[in-house]
Amino acid sequence: MELYSQFIKQLTLWQYELNSYISTTIRSINDENTLSSSLLILAIAFVYGLVHAAGPGHGKALVAFYFTSNKNDYKKAFKMGYMISIFHAISALLFTFGIFFILKSMFRQNFNELSQIAIQISAVMIIFVAIYLIVHAIKERNLKEKSEVPRSKSETAVAFSAGVVPCPGVMTIVLFCIVLKQYLLGILAALSMSIGMGLTISLAGILSIALNKKASGFLQTKTYMLEIFGGVLILLLGLFLLSSSFNIL
């Protein structure tokens, strides 16, 4: 596993540098360099999002598992990655502005408590999505029909269930901007970071599809088996998230 831990170390060091670079640049904004510094911050936030999402996380796992059963549609994988990141950004902005301006105190504690609730909601939703996928696959098998039953509802549900948990990384940048009274920059930085994260999450789905295609004998033979397999993995993910969220509390 040395390669794995080296990869994690490298990702961490990149984020460490980017995090420091963003905060230094935001602090350096003054009347004369507002535009150039803001554009620089948005560019760094995009790269930060790209790298931040490259570490293991439940969003990517969910997309990868979901697309074990959706083996040809790269566009859908791309779309879902972005749907998750959009929900992620909206959730982070609502949480940050909500805690800061409504609750007004104990940001970290309120954030931890609300995040915990969001994780539990997310986990329950993921479990429901998994059950839906498994039941859908079994029904399909019984009907002996081909698989093109509309799945857009389940895709939105998958994206929402992963995206509802606010990203603490995005929240930290937004809050930092709020403290320095750079409200618009905070919102734009959150969006820019989310676009970066969306790209990485999409790639996780695309990679899952590509690997499934290559491992054809393993998963491609029966559609319903694929759906059940993907559903079971998602179910396990949901159960893991739920149990770990209660342990943390």
Partner 1 sequence: MINYKKILFIYFLFISTLFSHPHTFIDVYPTIEVKNAKTETIHFEWVLDDMSSSMLIMEYDQNGDNVIDKDENYFIYKNYFSIYETSNFYTEIKINDKVQTVEPKNFRTTIKDNRIHYSFDIEKNYETKNLTIDFADKDFFHAMILKKEFVNIKGAKAVVNGVDNDFYFAYRLELKELVK
| Contact residues for partner 1, defined by CB under 8 A | 1-2, 4-6, 8-9, 11-12, 15-16, 19-20, 22-24, 27, 52-53, 55-58, 60-61, 64-65, 105-109, 168-169, 172-173, 175-176, 179-180, 204, 207-208, 211-212, 214-215, 218-219, 233, 237, 240-241, 244
CB of 109 to partner 1, least distance (A): 7
CB of 10 to partner 1, least distance (A): 9
Q: How many CA atoms lie within 13 A of 222 on its CB side?
A: 9
- How many residues comprise the chain? 249
Residue 25 vs 223, nearer CB to partner 1: 25
Q: Are the C-beta atoms of residues 91 and 118 closer than 8 Å to each other?
A: yes
| DSSP percent split of the chain into helix, strand, coil, nearest 5 | 85, 0, 15
Residue 61 vs 195, nearer CB to partner 1: 61
Residue 191 vs 206, nearer CB to partner 1: 206
Question: DSSP label at 165?
Answer: S
Residue 36 vs 216, nearer CB to partner 1: 216
Question: DSSP label at 238?
Answer: H
CB of 173 to partner 1, least distance (A): 7
Rounded to whole angstroms, how far apart are CA atoms 22 and 28?
10
Residue 94 vs 149, nearer CB to partner 1: 94
Helix (H), strand (E) at residue 65: helix 58-66
Q: Report the greatest alpha carbon distance in the chain.
A: 68
CB of 113 to partner 1, least distance (A): 13
Dihedral, CA of residue 222, residue 67, residue 123 and residue 128, to nearest 10: -40
Residue 6 vs 139, nearer CB to partner 1: 6
CB of 151 to partner 1, least distance (A): 21
CB of 142 to partner 1, least distance (A): 28
Q: Considering Cα of 68, then 74, then 76, then 79, what sign does the dihedral take?
A: positive
